[in-house]
Each structure stands twice: as C-alpha cells, then as structure tokens.
C-alpha cells in the first residue's frame, strides 16, 4: 500500500536515506500528523529529491549547523544561508522545497497538513488559517519546538516504549503552537476553563485503564465523549491534574505495585502485565516516578510486611 503523507520512508527518500525513523498520530479528524528524523553524517553531494506536492507543511528542527545551505523552491535556487542548530524552519510542500546536500545533516521534520491546522482553528471566534508566515531559509528561535522536538526524539529512539497517547499529546500541542505562532491563530477571548463532567471523567479513565499499553488514541476517547481532542485534553487535565498520557503512567505504576505484592512473580512479567514495553522501560519509568527501583521498592515493602 502506498503511504499517504510526506513522512517516514517517503521523506527519507528525498534525502537519499534508506531509513528515517517516524512517529505517526491521528489526533485530529481530518489528517495524520507525523514526525520524522533524518540524519546522514557522510552524504554524497547532490540536490535533494523532489517531495510529493501536498497541501501541507514541513516544520523542521535542526540539530546540526549547516553552513551555506542552498535552498530551492519551484525548481530554482531562492536563497543561500547558514542554517543554525536549534533553529526552526518551515517548508511549503506545494512549492517543491529542496536543498543542496553537500554536508552532514541532522534534523526532525514535522508533517502538518493544512487540514490539521484548519481543525485546530475550529473554535468560537477563531480565524481561518491560510498560509503560514515564513520565508525560505529564514530560521526561528522557537523554544517550544525545541522542547517538543527533544521529547519526541526520545520516542523515536525507543518507539516500543512510547505510548500513542504521548505522541498524540505532543503532536496536538505542536500543531496548536504552529497555528498560533506562524498562522495567526488567536486564543478565544473566553477560553473554556471547566473540566469534564463526572461521568466523562469516569468513562475516560475507564477507557484508559482498560488498555495500559496506551495504544488507544486521544481522538477515539474524545469522540466517545462528544468533544474535540484539544477540548478533551485540556478538560481532562483540569479534572485529574494530569494530561492523559501522564495519568496512564501513574496507572501503570499502580498496577505494577499491586503485582509486586506477589512474591514469586518476576519483574519482567510484571512489566509486560502493567503495560510497559519491557523490564528496562518499567525500571526507568518506575524509578523516575517513585524514586527507587522496582526491586528496591519490593524489598522495602516485603520487609515492612515481615515486621
């Protein structure tokens, strides 16, 4: 089946790469969103390949300086500039963005269809988002993109340990930020401040608790409650004090603690049963949230019971 959307392997081909790690989400009604990592420490000098013309943007976070970058659009060179590590650059896929690859490069590319930006703008008083404001080769000092990129980069390194709720949450935040910062979207004059109704909290928590692996998508839960994804995420946090993916991590740790009261149950089995990818993932999350390793917590708990 042909992949729709300029991300993953399709994006990697434009940079003459065989592999391009990708995370994909369906956190909005009309479109997939994705983040792809591209890196080549020893490229063969060439012009990058043409990417499919789509009504979409690529938002790129650079991890490496790229001096004298020759940027092309619509078949011609439009600028030559120094690309700086840590900066954010925007590309319109309708303009056939390309550049001369003659130095090592390392970047993240966020794939944002315009339909996703339109979905974000569907709020009372929200203006229609047309073209994003950008100039070819002009970078932006965007701390939000750097933070989101660093978080998602960890997910790209350990895809088996990254739950879908986390990816959905990060990509939704990025889309809203891009719409506001580069698309002119303003927050509603009177934003919704209330949380979920009691029955909505119960249903949402039950749905999350039913699959500790985190494979359920935010869109699915929001649709069941008759809410947009952004409204659900905001209201869930107001009601519970945590975003959905963090709430789910707490439930995983809680389930693991209950399972560890069974003395003969191996930690590797507990990790899988509690929704973690493996024992290493379990140990890392548990230690971060509880302050001690699962083994140490179990020994302390068993010692307290024996007294």
pLDDT tens readout for residues 103-129: 999 999 999 998 888 777 665 445 556
Q: What is the mean pLDDT of residues 90-115?
A: 93
- pLDDT for residue 189: 43
Q: How far apart are CA 136 and CA 72, in angstroms?
A: 8
pLDDT at 214 over 90: no
How far the first Cα of the chain sits from its last, in Å, is: 62
Residue 97 included in any domain? yes
Same domain, 149 and 295: no
Q: What is the mean pLDDT of residues 66-94?
A: 94
> 1 falls in which pLDDT band (50, 70, 90)?
very low
Residue 190 included in any domain? no
Which pair of tokens denotes residue 241? 């004090």
Residue 147 included in any domain? yes
pLDDT at 43 over 80: yes
Query: Which residues touch 144 (CB under 8 Å, ≥6 apart)?
Result: 174, 177, 181
Same domain, 176 and 82: yes
Residue 189 included in any domain? no
pTM of the model: 0.77
Same domain, 94 and 208: no
Same domain, 116 and 158: yes
Q: Is the dihedral of CA 139, 142, 145, 146 positive or negative?
A: positive
- pLDDT for residue 305: 55
Q: How far apart are CA 181 and CA 173, in angstroms?
A: 12
Q: What is the mean pLDDT of residues 151-163?
A: 86
Residue 231 included in any domain? yes
- pLDDT for residue 187: 54
CATH number, domain of 39, equals 2.60.120.10
Q: Which residue has the higher pLDDT, 121 or 297?
A: 297
- pLDDT for residue 122: 65
Same domain, 151 and 66: yes
Same domain, 239 and 259: no
If you compute the radius of gyration of the chain from its CA atoms, what whole number of angstroms results? 22
Q: How far apart are CA 103 and CA 69, in angstroms?
A: 9
- pLDDT for residue 135: 84
Residue 193 included in any domain? no
Find residue 98's DSSP bridge partners: 72
* Domains identified in the chain, total number: 3
Same domain, 72 and 25: yes
pLDDT in tens, 17-26: 988 998 888 6
The residue segments making up the domain with residue 207 are: 198-246
pLDDT at 101 over 90: yes
pLDDT at 4 over 80: no
pLDDT winner (highest mean) among 77-86, 118-127, 207-216, 240-249 = 77-86
Same domain, 64 and 205: no
Q: How far apart are CA 27 and CA 232, in angstroms?
A: 11
Residue 54 included in any domain? yes
pLDDT at 212 over 90: no
Q: List the one residue out of 167, 153, 257, 256 whose CA is nearest residue 212.
A: 256
């Amino acid at each position: 089946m042909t992949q729709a959307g300029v991300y993953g392997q399709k994006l990697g081909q434009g940079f003459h790469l065989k592999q391009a790690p990708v995370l994909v989400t369906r956190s909005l009604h009309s479109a997939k969103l994705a983040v792809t990592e591209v890196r080549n420490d020893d490229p063969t000098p060439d012009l990058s390949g043409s990417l499919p013309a789509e009504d979409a943007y690529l938002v790129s976070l650079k991890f490496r300086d790229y001096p004298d970058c020759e940027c092309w659009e619509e078949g011609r060179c439009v600028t030559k500039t120094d690309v700086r590590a840590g900066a954010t650059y925007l590309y319109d896929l309708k303009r056939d963005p390309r550049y001369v690859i003659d130095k090592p490069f390392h970047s993240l590319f966020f794939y944002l269809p315009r339909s996703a930006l339109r979905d974000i703008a569907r709020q009372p008083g929200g203006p229609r988002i047309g073209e994003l404001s950008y100039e070819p080769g002009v970078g932006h000092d965007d701390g939000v993109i750097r933070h989101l990129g660093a978080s998602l980069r960890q997910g790209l390194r350990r895809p088996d340990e990254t739950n879908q709720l986390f990816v959905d949450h990060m990509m939704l935040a990025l889309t809203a930020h891009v719409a506001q910062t580069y698309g002119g979207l303003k927050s509603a004059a009177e934003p919704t401040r209330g949380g979920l109704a009691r029955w909505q909290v119960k249903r949402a928590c039950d749905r999350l608790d039913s699959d500790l692996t985190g494979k359920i998508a935010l869109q699915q839960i929001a649709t069941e409650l008759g809410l947009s994804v952004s409204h659900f995420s905001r209201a869930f946090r107001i009601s519970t004090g945590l975003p959905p993916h963090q709430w789910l991590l707490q439930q995983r740790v809680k389930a693991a603690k209950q399972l560890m009261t069974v003395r003969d149950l191996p930690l590797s089995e507990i990790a899988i049963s509690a929704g973690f990818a493996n024992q290493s993932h379990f140990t890392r999350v548990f230690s971060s949230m509880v302050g001690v390793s699962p083994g140490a917590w179990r020994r302390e708990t068993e010692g307290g019971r024996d007294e």
